[in-house]
């Protein structure tokens, strides 16, 4: 990419990232309506303690204490809210040219997740894959500056299969487990062989069954998953979910509960 093209991409990114350089990570609480929901729903699993009773658990320890204290043969049914435990979360974000117009929507959402959770890995990809987890742990201003330096990544085509293969080879041992929730944020356009996408997701699916594809055009009238890569991916996805608006991202907090 030439110098002029890089400057143009950097300028577009500054516009799309949307927040003034003086803004801090804490300001995400005021700009994102979905921020308060994230710590309670996304990327959690039910705690194995207790017996399931609808959406609640029987509080067996409380019931036993009641009987021991009062010496009765009958015990009341005491219930407690089911506990949820955060799990590892991986976000694979397609930042190619076709996804660039939505940077201002997804960047605060991902920054919110990493601000609230300690085990969130963020990986950006287009024709190559970059681990941006450390960048998303920085204060918002510094994170924004670091991401702007990756101008070559934020344009061009998408090699989705190659990116997934790279992630499996370099990062799966640290991030992928049976409790990992994987989000693939992409429109599905891919210039590489679609079979590589299917093979990579098959390997991922053999370890974790919690793979979600977030598609920006899923709510578009008449949409159907026609891209070859997306068709190859469908058998290995738990759900295909929309992410075209902030409201859709808010619904993720309720849709993705393990």
CATH topology of domain 86-257: Rossmann fold (3.40.50)
> What DSSP state is assigned to residue 80?
E
Given this model, what pLDDT does residue 72 score?
A: 58
Written as six digits, the tokens of 2 are: 């030439």
What pLDDT, on a 0 to 100 scale, did the predictor assign at position 257? Answer: 52
pTM, rounded to two decimals: 0.75
| Mode of pairing for the β-strands spanning 56-58 and 79-81 | antiparallel
pLDDT confidence of residue 221? 82
* Spatial distance between the Cα atoms of 258 and 254, rounded to a whole number of angstroms: 10
Full pLDDT tens readout for the chain, 258 residues: 444 444 555 555 555 555 444 444 444 444 444 444 444 445 566 555 544 444 455 566 666 676 677 765 555 555 555 566 778 899 999 998 888 888 888 888 888 888 878 889 999 999 899 999 999 988 888 888 888 887 777 777 899 999 999 999 999 999 999 889 999 999 988 988 999 999 999 999 999 989 999 999 888 888 888 889 999 999 999 999 988 887 788 777 665 654
How do 89-94 and 56-58 pair as beta strands?
unpaired
Residue 23 is predicted with a pLDDT of 43
């Amino acid at each position: 990419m030439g110098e002029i093209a890089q400057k143009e991409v950097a300028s577009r990114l500054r516009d799309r990232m949307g927040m003034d350089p003086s803004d801090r990570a804490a300001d995400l609480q005021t700009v994102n309506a979905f921020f308060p929901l994230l710590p309670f729903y996304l990327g959690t699993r039910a705690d194995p303690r207790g017996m399931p009773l609808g959406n609640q658990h029987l509080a067996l320890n409380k019931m036993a204490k009641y009987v021991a204290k009062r010496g009765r043969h009958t015990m009341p049914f005491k219930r407690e809210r089911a506990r949820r435990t955060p799990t590892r979360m991986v976000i694979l974000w397609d930042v190619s040219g076709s996804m660039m117009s939505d940077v201002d929507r997804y960047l605060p959402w991902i920054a919110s997740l990493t601000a609230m959770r300690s085990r969130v890995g963020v990986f950006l990809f287009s024709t190559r894959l970059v681990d941006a987890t450390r960048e998303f742990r920085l204060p918002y201003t510094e994170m924004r500056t670091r991401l702007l330096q990756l101008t070559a990544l934020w344009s061009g085509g998408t090699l989705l299969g190659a990116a997934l293969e790279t992630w499996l080879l370099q990062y799966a041992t640290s991030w992928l487990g049976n409790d990992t929730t994987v989000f693939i944020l992409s429109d599905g356009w891919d210039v590489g062989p679609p079979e590589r996408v299917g093979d990579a997701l098959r390997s991922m699916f053999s370890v974790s069954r919690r793979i979600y594809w977030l598609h920006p055009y899923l709510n578009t009238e008449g949409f159907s998953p026609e891209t070859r890569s997306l068709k190859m991916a469908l058998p290995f996805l738990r759900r295909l979910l929309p992410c075209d608006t902030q409201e859709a991202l808010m619904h993720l907090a309720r849709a993705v509960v393990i």
